[in-house]
Structure 1
């Protein structure tokens, strides 16, 4: 094989492998955005499919819209500040042939606002209609432009004494990965009787992603992706009210497969195809129980996330880029609410959620099990006006990463840990 052919083959393999990582990120890569409201944020979203303290409940369970006696408006923003540590990075351009290099450690931080807005219209005592805009998935991880620079290598492939077959820098594992999704939902809910309500609606999911990878840092562009697309999903839910202090909710959200089109270049060549991005569906069970003759309520949620739908990455042309073995995930949350008086409400909660990745790991997709520690407060400054504040510290776990971009070469090992701080504010109005 000539030097030119080997170089091109290696470059293409890097491009295809990096494209796979882009798809992981577009499928949230195990980083689900539980950020539909500041109210829910303050209790780690425990009980959010049934509590219904403002219109944001439609993002979790449309059936809960019947729990209101009047029209409802709610809008706010959550700010997510992430910190990703990539520690003890070791890179081998060709394991056993070229020497392993220790790149030390790096930290990637980013801040992202996630807004939301909802409206519920009470048609009558039994029927309610609602519309909302929020986000379920998103991530942002950008390595410094100098990460991995000068760490590649070359060998003498033709025996003339001159190193002439290049291998990529460690920069092919870093680069830029940005994903954003927006969920537009239209819902309806109907009260069957004093205890049962049902609801559902259409979800229009718009997603966009940007991925850039260099073969050599700042020199040869291996992957340049900037794609976007839209898919249609749906949601169904129910609420059962045992009495005025105890109720349960269950909801299912079907997420669509998005065909994302735009710029999709591998090794500088535009493929002309779209990327098929399957998103995970979700099911959630919640309970709420206010203790009689007290000001205290407990609430909880168990959510399943169908990450196993992401078993492979393929294009619309039917080309399978790579097979995957993702696993379904879940989160369990428990919280408490204390109704201090007519003006003030105090909240707290804890959540544990599990990673989607199983055997495959990556420094550009720093996924792990996570623990949420949350607190919040609500202030009712007028009979119809409420402002809620929420705060969460999200703590990830250390993950030992070993990944390759080109089979048999370019091996990288590291330890990753991703933490985040989330803070939000929500305004709600009933009329």
Structure 2
């Protein structure tokens, strides 16, 4: 049975090119997790706990599955030198799927597929900042098998994460009154480790902690150009190979869960994401685009940041759970190196949800409103310095997960 479930998860992973979201780091691992503000590191487990803390698979008896999707609808506006542009309104889908099985009283296996990084930013074709960015799509999908070991009130879990990552960027180069449209697209697969621990400290309090290592992605792809009749030599802006490298950040999570009775559960998670590994975005070209132009370089120097999540779950009846959550998510973007790639600032998320379960089946639904704090600053570009103001940024997220216990 578990082999069949693993094959199904890999099939879901094959659809990963459709998994995108309005943000670089993503935390939409399940509808229940969305509703509870991602405060899942120490909380009573479900199969999506693989993404939060692999030690929690030791709570899942028998064989269990969970799969679903979160739909994200983001929006943001940006003023460039006084002119306002609305980013294109798109809708992105973020899938997830998990399976766990119990080997014996102490050993448990699990495997999950989910997206931890994604970005979908698209501006109108002729907007003021088109020579810096027209659109960018970052997609990723992880497949993460884990092993959990339990001994009394203590549990540990370890896993290996295989992550597929794709980068797709479009921008224009102005030549007189004509724009040359360029596109760089590449992908790679990187590997990392994850682990976690869980401790039932008292009858009502549990503690949890987990980590993920950084994952280096060495991308290879192509740079393609549409000259649109621009008056440039034939040897300029020819299609060529392209490559780049980025180290995606590691993270550490710590959580505490409190169950004062058999109906209420309150949990708090704190996450530290080590975004300082993302200090530049460099793209190298196999052949010069123009005399002396062999690469493009954007300094980022992002910061390590904190994310705070709080979630409350109430068992209304034997079949119905009510949930609410709150998240304060700090932006890693360095204000001295702003760009149009990630038009974001600190974020706050407000979530609600409901879980229905009866016998072997369960269905979870969530809604999240994400609000992005505005930001003023300057973007240094190829054609000078832009005075920018990002404002009116928000997103609506709807999550759905369904599970079955065998």
Fold match, TM over 0.5?
Answer: yes
8 Å contact kept, 1:375–1:392? yes
Match of 1:367 among 344, 355, 368: 344
How far apart in 1 are the matches of 2:22 and 2:223?
Answer: 19
1:252 and 2:244 aligned: no
8 Å contact kept, 2:60–2:101? no
- Sort the Cα spacing of 1:35 and 1:248 in 2 relative to 1 into closer, same or farther, 3 A: same
What's the counterpart of residue 178 of structure 1? 137
Could you report, residue by residue, the CA deviation over 1:139-182 in whole angstroms, capped at 9, with x for unpaired residues? 1111111213xxxxxxxxxxxxxxxxxxxxx4213301111100
Q: Tell me the matched-pair count.
A: 365
Q: Aligned runs of 1:144-293 on 2, under 5 Å? A: 144-148=124-128, 170-191=129-150, 193-216=151-174, 219-221=178-180, 223-264=182-223, 268-270=237-239, 272-292=241-261
How far apart in 1 are the matches of 2:27 and 2:342?
Answer: 18
What's the counterpart of residue 162 of structure 1? none
Quote how far apart the aligned CAs of 1:337 are.
Answer: 0.8
- Sort the Cα spacing of 1:356 and 1:30 in 2 relative to 1 into closer, same or farther, 3 A: farther
Q: Aligned runs of 1:63-82 on 2, under 5 Å? A: 63-82=55-74
What's the counterpart of residue 10 of structure 1? none
8 Å contact kept, 2:42–2:267? no
The 3-state SS of whatever aligns with 2:58 is helix
1:143 and 2:123 aligned: yes
Could you report, residue by residue, the CA deviation over 1:373-392 in whole angstroms, capped at 9, with x for unpaired residues? 01110011x21111001111
What's the counterpart of residue 271 of structure 2? 303
Q: Aligned runs of 1:20-59 on 2, under 5 Å? A: 31-46=24-39, 48-59=40-51
Quote how far apart the aligned CAs of 1:196 are.
Answer: 1.0
What's the counterpart of residue 338 of structure 1? 314
What's the counterpart of residue 392 of structure 1? 368
How far apart in 1 are the matches of 2:140 and 2:281?
Answer: 19
Relative contact order higher in (CA < 8 Å, ≥ 6 apart): 1
Quote how far apart the aligned CAs of 1:29 are.
Answer: 9.9
How far apart in 1 are the matches of 2:72 and 2:397?
Answer: 5
Could you report, residue by residue, the CA deviation over 1:41-77 in whole angstroms, capped at 9, with x for unpaired residues? 011112x122244200001111110012222100010
8 Å contact kept, 1:178–1:210? yes
How far apart in 2 are the matches of 1:174 and 1:400?
Answer: 18
8 Å contact kept, 1:362–1:401? no
1:120 and 2:97 aligned: no
How far apart in 1 are the matches of 2:142 and 2:37?
Answer: 20
1:347 and 2:339 aligned: no
TM-score (norm 2): 0.84
8 Å contact kept, 2:22–2:120? no
RMSD: 2.3
What's the counterpart of residue 15 of structure 1? none
Quote how far apart the aligned CAs of 1:398 are.
Answer: 0.7
Structure 2 unaligned runs (5+)? 1-20, 226-235, 286-293
How far apart in 2 are the matches of 1:143 and 1:107?
Answer: 5
1:429 and 2:404 aligned: yes
How far apart in 2 are the matches of 1:179 and 1:273?
Answer: 16
8 Å contact kept, 1:331–1:351? yes
Structure 1 unaligned runs (5+)? 1-27, 91-101, 149-169
